[in-house]
Amino acid sequence: MDDGVIFAAVIAAAGSVVSSLFNAYMVYKSQYKPAIERIKHEKESAEYNKLSDIKNKNSKYRDPLINAAYDLQCRIYKIYHHDIILKSVINNDKREVDYLRYNTVYTICQFFAWREIIRVEIGYLYNNDDLTRLQISTRLDDIYSVWQKEEFGPKLRVFSGEQRAIGEKMSRGTNEGLKCIGYAEFRDIADSGAIPFISDMIADVVTISKADTSCINRLVCMHNHLVELLCLLDQSSKRIDITKLSKLESVPS
């Protein structure tokens, strides 16, 4: 066969291959690539929406937890430094004694409620910094643990399941999700048995004094973990001035 004919055949075959490849590329570009890009975009959009939803819920529940933690550490601080409950008992001020008894238990239960609401609604508090998120989770676990520690004696000892049960009963479903009941509703039902496991707390609170070193040291340990938690939750002091928070020292036995 003439070399020229062979060469022409090779060129024709090569041209056919190139044409086929070009046609395949054009089909990919016009049909498959847009589909792939669309799937990629939908996936990224779904991930973004999921993350955005987590962040919105995080913001929704972070502030109430900050408020609950702040209220509880404030009450412990006043008990520690001013013995406010013992003084009201000594002064025989029944109205003040009742208020301090029930309001103190409410601040404890309020914290249990928001901790449980967060567990149910979002699982954990999201944070861009994985280390901070882990530290927040660790502080919450520490607080969870202090309430049930045997070394601090039987007074104000609340087991983990009891903490969750109290949190559940202190929560109410609303159109905006779960929320903690207010003090007025708590006061109405506190003695009815509607909130389990708080009768002992109500009885214990009125006997708290710095002379009861085991119980007061439970509160000291709790207070210090709450301060650490608040410093993690509100690092920029948007809600509270964390520079004014201070830890307490344990009372010697």
Residue 232 lies in a domain: yes
pLDDT in tens, 239-251: 889 889 999 999 9
Range of the domain at 134: 61-244
Kindly state the DSSP code that residue 31 receives in the 8-state scheme.
I
Residue 30 lies in a domain: no
The pair of three-digit structure tokens given for residue 108, joined into one six-digit string? 């404890």
Distance of CA 195 to the CA centre of its chain: 22
- Candidates 72, 57, 139; CA nearest to 103 is 72
- Taking residues 228-242, what's their average pLDDT? 90
Kindly state the DSSP code that residue 235 receives in the 8-state scheme.
T
SS3 244: helix
Residue 32 lies in a domain: no
Percent of the chain whose pLDDT exceeds 70: 75
What pLDDT, on the 0 to 100 scale, is given for residue 50? 61
Residue 175 lies in a domain: yes
Residue 15 lies in a domain: no
Instruction: Please tell me the distance from the alpha carbon of residue 96 to that of residue 16, in angstroms, as a whole number.
Output: 97
Instruction: Please tell me the distance from the alpha carbon of residue 114 to that of residue 135, in angstroms, as a whole number.
Output: 18
pTM here?
0.77
Residue 1 lies in a domain: no
The pair of three-digit structure tokens given for residue 124, joined into one six-digit string? 């954990």
Residue 42 lies in a domain: no
Number of domains in the chain: 1
- Taking residues 39-66, what's their average pLDDT? 71
Residue 50 lies in a domain: no
- The answer to whether the CB of 71 falls within 8 A of the CB of 182 is no
